[in-house]
Amino acid sequence: MPRSVASSIDKIARQTVGKDWSLYAALLEHWQEIVGSDYAAHTTPSKITFPHQPNNAQRGNGTLTIRLPKGLAMEFTFKTEQIRQRINGYFGYDAIAKIAFEPIYGTNDKKVKTERALSEHEKSALSETVEAIDNSDLAAALQSFGETMLRTSERNEISSPDGVKQVK
């Protein structure tokens, strides 16, 4: 019997980002709101790690690693407490206790991804894809993650549930 889409996506997301991938997806989605558009154009959260907390339902005391150009690290250091407070305010609890930096050396030639509005076709295709997922929390997280990925993607390509790729 084939595995469900939810278990496959959950497994891939956990391998790629870690077991706290839903927190990471939410952080990516709202990064521009948290740090502002100027900083969001040059920085990105690269990972979140938490100490071992087997008895806690909510993960706390985490370390957020932010990837940023080497020249911006000093300036960003002065804003870490404000950013930490804004992140924790967004999550509603003290999820992040420390912010670390992962400097990017050399020129910053990466293309800045700009957000765009999703078409009705993209929204409906994404909704059709996640509606088969029984776990409502997972479905909501995947819907949010999918919308973020589509809004910030450089290509305007989406696969329908039947596997046909459509380019707009």
pLDDT band at 122 (very low <50, low <70, confident <90, very high): confident
Give pLDDT, residue 158. 46
pLDDT tops 70 at residue 1: no
Give pLDDT, residue 21. 65
Place of tokens 């380019």: 167
What is the Cα–Cα distance from 144 to 150, expressed in whole angstroms? 10
Q: What is the mean pLDDT of residues 138-154?
A: 81
pLDDT in tens, 6-64: 555 555 655 555 556 678 888 888 999 999 988 898 999 988 888 887 776 677 889 99
Q: Are 24 and 17 in contact (CB under 8 A)?
A: yes
Alpha helices (H) along the chain: 5-17, 21-29, 31-35, 37-40, 73-77, 80-91, 120-130, 136-152
pLDDT in tens, 61-112: 899 999 999 888 888 889 999 999 999 998 888 989 999 999 988 654 445 5
What's the gap between Cα 145 and its chain centre? 7
**135 to 4, 5, 141: CA distances (angstroms):** 11, 11, 10
Q: Are 47 and 24 in contact (CB under 8 A)?
A: yes
Enumerate the domain spans of the chain. 9-104, 115-167
pTM: 0.55
pLDDT tops 50 at residue 156: no
Please provide the CATH number assigned to the domain covering 9-104. Answer: 3.30.70
Q: Looking at per-residue confidence, does 49 or 154 come out higher? A: 49
